[in-house]
Amino acid sequence: MSGDHYLRDVITLFRKLKQQGERALAQVSDEQFFAQIDAESNSLALIVKHLAGNARSRWRDFLTSDGEEPDRHRDSEFEIERGDTRAALMERWERGWQYLFDALEPLGADDLMRKVRIRNEEHTVVQAINRQLAHYASHVGQIVLLAKHYAGPRWQTLSIPRGKSEQFTAAMKKNPDTEAQLRRFRSKK
């Protein structure tokens, strides 16, 4: 795999994670967005706030400063503060993802072995990207789980609907456009 191929692929994966999180979040009410299933759990709002804060810190000056920027206050990402409305948090989410894409899109294969720091620990660009991909995937998974829990029977699947795997596979053999096939199968729920 070439470095340029890796970068295109990882950007696509990040875009899919962002989209998956947003499609899940769109299925919950404002009350559910801020609800906690227990005192030790994070609400959807807090997960969104944390991802936005992490993305801002890691990607804003990706190649030139430590990824744990001094103006980040991570602990506050797990507290709802005055002004933390759903709209405000989703705006932060959007800005955080934009920092990520703005940092990754100009990179080329020659950048992949450059060194960056996160909390003063040295990483190659590849290691830093993979670290964040794994981190964001785990949190988007939490978002999907919580949103599906709250949406209950109203849940609109984000992937292949239950009981449709064989039909989906057969359709993919005829037309391997995954996104088009998924849209078609989701609409048949």
The pTM assigned to this predicted structure is: 0.90
The predicted-structure confidence for 17-31, as pLDDT tens digits, reads as follows 999 999 999 999 999
The predicted-structure confidence for 133-165, as pLDDT tens digits, reads as follows 999 999 999 999 999 999 999 999 998 888 888
The predicted-structure confidence for 65-94, as pLDDT tens digits, reads as follows 998 888 888 888 888 999 999 999 999 999
pLDDT at 173: 84
Euclidean distance between CA atoms 3 and 129, whole angstroms? 13
40, 28 contact by CB (below 8 A): no
| CB-based contacts of 163, cutoff 8 Å, min separation 6 | none
Query: Is the CATH number of domain 3-157 3.40.50.2000?
Result: no
| CB-based contacts of 3, cutoff 8 Å, min separation 6 | 108, 109, 110, 111, 112
The predicted-structure confidence for 100-135, as pLDDT tens digits, reads as follows 999 999 999 999 999 999 999 999 999 999 999 999
Structural domain spans, the chain: 3-157, 159-189
- Can you say how many angstroms the Cα of residue 43 is from the centroid of all Cα atoms in its chain? 16
Euclidean distance between CA atoms 41 and 134, whole angstroms? 20
